[in-house]
Structure 1
Amino acid sequence: MVKLISWNVNGIRACVKKGFLDFFKHSDADIFCIQESKLQAGQIELDLPGYHQYWNYAQRKGYSGTAVFTKTEPLHVSYGFDEGEVEEEGRLITCEFESFYLVTMYTPNSKRDLSRIVDRLRWEDKVRDYISKLDEQKPVVLCGDLNVAHEPIDLKNDRSNRGNSGFTDEEREKMTRLLEAGFIDTFRYLHPDRDDAYTWWSYMNKVRERNIGWRIDYVIASQSLAPALASAGMEPAVLGSDHCPVYAEFIGLSE
């Protein structure tokens, strides 16, 4: 079995001070991915015995960034969409294992005023093409903060948020097209009707306490992996970030 955990830590240095390492060790994941690391090379040394570490840093200081910690050394690791391409915001890492590709991603936010939505939608098209091509070679597991609540069930106040960043018709349609390209939302595949299951909450007073949240962090997998999917969910009781960790377990995958 392969156990995967993904967490937008909203600054790994701050999250470490709030119990990240305790959760990491307790979870004993085969692969642990983070988004929004918010640092540059040399700014932290994580002591993670038994894990290989791969980091993609943003050029802008204290911004974005992703990392993968894996017990099994990948056959190959790439950063960004194309070999040799400079991916300035550190948003994508791909690890090739024996029987699947692992992609961790931090999707750009459209911004409150939607000033970045055109770039965001281009990103979505690029991601769909990218993982579809990988899927032609071997199955893909894509995890991370995808910055969209796909359906009304995926956020507490869907009516009042319709058209807002992360819940525009355009962003939601891109997620639909991604799934229609041959992929499953692992959590929704196993729990099609479960509501009040969120992964992000505003820092506003008592919002998380009252579970007024959004489900914007996902583990997406190739349709061919559906029979191997054993579990998928989130860990809302784990604090340290405005997001909580999400996970999926697959039987029969080999790293």
Structure 2
Amino acid sequence: PCRAPPAVERERAKGRSVILVGDMNIAYQPEDQYKAIRVSAEEHAARPFVRWMAGLYVNYVDTWRFLNREESRRYTCWNQKEQAFETNAGTRIDYVIVDRAFF
């Protein structure tokens, strides 16, 4: 199973709820990445970082995805060299992940 960074786990062990915010540099779900740059669902699920996030979500919730389950093509990162922002060909790599205790 996945574990959050040790400092986060120490806070949870003290009974504190945790919020993780920032650039995880991971497009966790296929819909978090522009379809032209996606790989197959099987290949995506086999990636170590995807498995890591799946384990993390045992104790945490991706707030944006929770509130926007059906949304697609909502990204936070685009290839600037290729001006991918103009066509919205990006990935969602920035997250607000909260402890399940908030839910």
Shorter-chain TM range is 0.7 to 0.9
Shift of 1:205: 3.1
Shift of 1:225: 1.4
Shift of 1:168: 6.4
Alpha carbon RMSD of aligned pairs, Å?
A: 2.4
- Does the alignment pair 1:151 with 2:29? yes
How is 1:224-235 mapped onto 2 (pairs within 5 angstroms)?
Answer: 224-226=101-103
Partner of 2:20: 142
Partner of 1:103: none
User: Is the alpha carbon distance of 1:125 and 1:135 closer, same or farther for their aligned partners in structure 2, counting shifts above 3 Å?
Assistant: closer
Structure with greater strand percent: 1
User: Partners of 1:204 and 1:135 in 2: how far apart?
Assistant: 41
User: Partners of 2:7 and 2:69 in 1: how far apart?
Assistant: 27
1:174 to 52, 73, 83: 52
Shift of 1:133: 2.9
Shift of 1:158: 1.4
Amino acid at match of 1:132: E
2:93 to 188, 191, 216: 216
TM-score, reference length from structure 1: 0.35
User: Partners of 2:4 and 2:65 in 1: how far apart?
Assistant: 23
Amino acid at match of 2:92: R
* Aligned pairs, number: 98
Shift of 1:163: 6.2
Shift of 1:131: 1.9
User: Partners of 1:206 and 1:134 in 2: how far apart?
Assistant: 41
Structure with greater helix percent: 2
Residue identity (%): 28
User: Partners of 1:153 and 1:223 in 2: how far apart?
Assistant: 23
Partner of 1:224, secondary structure, is helix
How is 1:78-97 mapped onto 2 (pairs within 5 angstroms)?
Answer: none
Amino acid at match of 2:51: E
User: Partners of 1:219 and 1:191 in 2: how far apart?
Assistant: 13
- Does the alignment pair 1:197 with 2:77? no
Show structure 1 runs of 4+ deviating over 6 A.
none
Partner of 1:219, secondary structure, is strand
Amino acid at match of 1:133: R
How is 1:53-72 mapped onto 2 (pairs within 5 angstroms)?
Answer: none
Partner of 2:64: 187
Bigger Rg over Cα: 1
Write out per-residue CA displacement over residues 219-251 of structure 1, whole angstroms, 9 at most, x where no aligned residue.
11011213xxxxxxxxxxxxxxxxxxxxxxxxx
